[in-house]
Amino acid sequence: MMAADSMEIDDALYSRQRYVLGDTAMQKMAQSHVFLSGMGGLGVEIAKNIVLAGIKALTIHDTKQCKTWDLGTNFFVHKDDILNLRNRAEATHHHIAELNPYVQVMSSTAPLNEVTDISFLRQYQCVIVTEMKLSLQKKINDFCHAQHPPIKFISADVYGMWARLFCDFGDEFEVLDTTGEEPKEIFIANISQSSPGIVTCLDNNPHKLETGQFVTFREINGMSCLNGSTHQITVISPYSFSIGNTTDMEPYLHGGIAVQVKTPKIFHFEQLGKQLINPRCLVADFSKPETPLQVHIAMLALNEFQENFHRMPNIGCIQDAEEMPQVNEDIVKWLSRMAQGSLAPLTAALGGVASQEVLKAVTGKFSPLQQWLYIDALELVPCLEKASSEEFLPRGDRYDALRACIGDSLCQKLQNLNVFLVGCGAIGCEMLKNFALLGVGTCQERGMVTITDPDLIEKSNLNRQFLFRPHHIQVCWSDKDQCRCLANLRPLLDSGTMGTKGHTEVILPHLTESYNSHRDPPEEEIPFCTLKSFPAATEHTIQWARDKFESAFSHKPSLFNKFWQTYSSAEEVLERIKSGESLEGSFQVIKCLSRRPRNWPQCVELARLKFEKYFNHKALQLLHSFPIDTRLKDGSLFWQSPKRPPFPIQFDFNDPLHYSFILSTAKLFAEIYCVPFTEKDMSEEMISKIISGLKIQEFRPSNKVVQTDETVRKTDPIPVSSEDERNAVIQLETAIVANEATKNDLQMKELTFEKDDDSNGHIDFITAASNLRARMYNIEPADRLKTKRIAGKIIPAIATSTAAVSGLVALELIKVVGGYPFQAYKNCFFNLAIPIIVFTETAEVRRTEIRNGISFTIWDRWTVYGKEDFTLLDFINAVKEKYGIEPTMVVQGVKMLYVPVMPGHVKRLKLTMQKLVKPAANKKYVDLTVSFAPETDGEEDLPGPPVRYYFAHEDN
């Protein structure tokens, strides 16, 4: 993450992850050494994720040689590693190290068993073990737990379709931030003088706090002794909470913000030995809450078998299964039969969760797992019962570990699969890795994987997309940048992440709800008047600065160019205006031309004038319209929370924020007006010299109406007056005479906002402009990183969540390919920070009853085939004959083809469908909406499914 001698975070690489973990956690990771034993499929998953995240050093350990088997589980093992009998740690070392230049990766092949001296582990902050028997795990865990401070211990394993994770971070493990959520800020409406004092929030703003949390206060008028003090709260309602005794305080007047205070929390862990007897498990699937304990006991039985026979049970062997202690017969039988196998998607899912626990262990950020997690793919079992035991036996190829879990027939179905992957970002890369390990689309005759993504690879992608390397930057993710239209209904597997949160959803035609059945709530828009005049939070000032960027550097140049592409010359425009024509946009475009800066000093002067306009005159104008003591009709003050009065800013060249605004704004003006400038031009000396000679006009108040209504959207520009038009004529004449309306003068460069290129100055401008506005309104400023996230609408991302989500999706893919029944599918939501993982059954599709047992779902489409002389009446009769119900209304989009109550519509029954619809020459069909008469009078007509009407019979 950072070189040993420097703690500078490489933002280009880590920006998306910084938003998840924060800089303190990133710094701690950059100082941590981790030991990881067992480089099978699970080990390599964990190694990949924590190296991408950016720890300081990782030692990977293994004593086994690469086998053909590993090709289907470890994505970094290659055929020549097997031919050359390489150790698994040595074979994967180079590939893991290549993922992140900031991480030192070492490999070890030394023996690690009951007689090994394990004191060498003292150099590590976290030890992870996979593929290790429990007796040795206990020895290592006891050693780690006894250290001061304790070494964090994590154990993880996948046996067939069962996965387990165990964490022990010591007797007392302090977490500074349990959730990673932004501290909530609550605007206050009232605080009572009572015991306890009741704090009420402003309307429509629930506090979303919990009893026992702490808040601090600021900007309270009246009860000002609360400012800066911290109080534990008790929730009374969504809009109120109580604090301590406020009876002796001054009466509350107005304003104020309560800010949530994050307090550290201590977590207590027990050693593996104790936890084996009395486990604390996280329940992930509430439809089978007893399963974690049953699997826990079954895995103890598996360990006992290992100890007794010095091997794992043989694949598909009934006798070995009977040797294991019988707890839950089904679980033990299947665990024994496929314990040697490995289901790559389950490995990916557990690897993601386990890696997040490693990051928690070394940073103290987020709540750790206490202390066991069991995930399974038990839903796969029922369909495997019917398969013969030969299906699961090894065949000496790369799919043996998978075959042991799902049988050969399913393996072949995966190989024959034709998959379309939309998006080759972080999740897309992980999905491709899962596809490769599952053999998806590898059958040459039938299988195929098609990927599409038009975006270019940026450096920030390398932090979580392990298929990309530095030489791929600025290459297109996939060579297909057009999404093919998927005409046929196919299963859709959807997933997404945001920071430590992730979701997966299975959409199956005719079985589940469709993707459109539920939408995310719309993003809350900031009211126009809040942005323009009454910001109350950093988000408002950042959005204002982002809007200013768009307006000045994208929108204006775009309008300017479009105008001059429409008219051939300035002379032509002048003539047409003089002859009385009104050319749309001409006033603004001519104003822009007449004020066009033609050299660097003029760009700096323009930036200085903008400073005055935005941060001085704007405040003076608002205070002119609404003086500080203005009161509303009810007698309350106009300027009270959440409205903050602005304070005009006096320009000070020596203030770094003022200087930063001038420099970044001047550079952007120079860019859009194609004005050259040098390094020397940007020196403080040069800019000071330019500004000191500039005359700034005094503020003159105007009587413009200030919009205060929050429901009003942005208004249209005020029409141009005749005086303005006369001015435009004079300005254009002047420009033509001065030879300043040449072809070069009539074009500007449009800028497209780009958040990830630090050299373009876009975020510099937005940060400076936003923080000056924040200062003007006495709002907390935001650093460049936060500004970039909000202005660029960046979704925080980390490799751990991505790996987990893609693994869970690939598990569902196996069920889809196997043609599993509806009940087998699971949707998932998780938040690895808390941590919670919740599996739920998919939502069954709703059936709409029309009548007499006739019903349809959102997936249904009725079809009617016609011919050339087919009339509307024929169409209605055809629907009745085919589907058993007579339509009373026929609509095409917004066009009403047949509504009997409309005048003249009954006559339409005789018209042909061709005449009514008037299709284009090449159109073979039209989609119509039909409705049916209600069962009882007075009710609405019943809508039916869409009906596709073909103008002629299809040959096929």
Residues recognised as catalytic: 529
Residues in Cβ contact with 719 at an 8 Å cutoff, skipping those fewer than 6 apart: none
Q: Give the E-state strand segments of 286-444 in sequence order.
A: 372-376, 418-422
How do 104-108 and 492-498 pair as beta strands? unpaired
Residue 328: is it exposed, middle or buried by C-beta count within 10 angstroms (0-12/13-18/19+)? Answer: middle
- Cα angle vertex 837, ends 31, 858, to 5°? 130
At 221, which amino acid appears? N
Backbone angles phi, psi at 131, to 5 degrees: 55, 45
Looking up tokens 């009710």, which residue turns up?
939
Output the six-digit token pair for 710. 């929050």
Residues in Cβ contact with 776 at an 8 Å cutoff, skipping those fewer than 6 apart: 615, 618, 619, 646, 647, 648, 649
CA distance 839 to 826: 6
CB-CB contact of 603 with 669 (8 Å): yes
What is the number of alpha carbons within 13 Å of residue 151 lying toward its C-beta? 27
Rounded alpha-carbon distances, angstroms, from residue 430 to 85, 343, 451, 464, 810: 28, 15, 13, 9, 10
Rounded alpha-carbon distances, angstroms, from residue 6 to 103, 713, 853: 14, 49, 73
CA distance 352 to 802: 7
H-assigned helices in 230-323: 272-277, 291-309, 318-323
Closest CA to 660 of 680, 684, 640, 678: 684
What is the number of alpha carbons within 13 Å of residue 209 lying toward its C-beta? 33
CA distance 811 to 754: 37
CA distance 183 to 455: 34
CA distance 617 to 621: 6
CA distance 361 to 431: 27
CA distance 392 to 405: 7
Residues in Cβ contact with 303 at an 8 Å cutoff, skipping those fewer than 6 apart: 133, 134
Question: How are the residues of the chain apportioned to helix, strand and coil, as percentages rounded to the nearest 5?
Answer: 40, 20, 45
Rounded alpha-carbon distances, angstroms, from residue 388 to 159, 316, 391, 407, 939: 20, 9, 6, 9, 58
At 751, which amino acid appears? L
Residues in Cβ contact with 713 at an 8 Å cutoff, skipping those fewer than 6 apart: 528
Closest CA to 300 of 319, 318, 275: 275
Residue 599: is it exposed, middle or buried by C-beta count within 10 angstroms (0-12/13-18/19+)? Answer: middle
How do 126-129 and 33-37 pair as beta strands? parallel
CB-CB contact of 280 with 371 (8 Å): yes
DSSP β-bridge partners for residue 281: 372
SS3 161: coil
CA distance 428 to 418: 16
Backbone angles phi, psi at 431, to 5 degrees: -65, -40
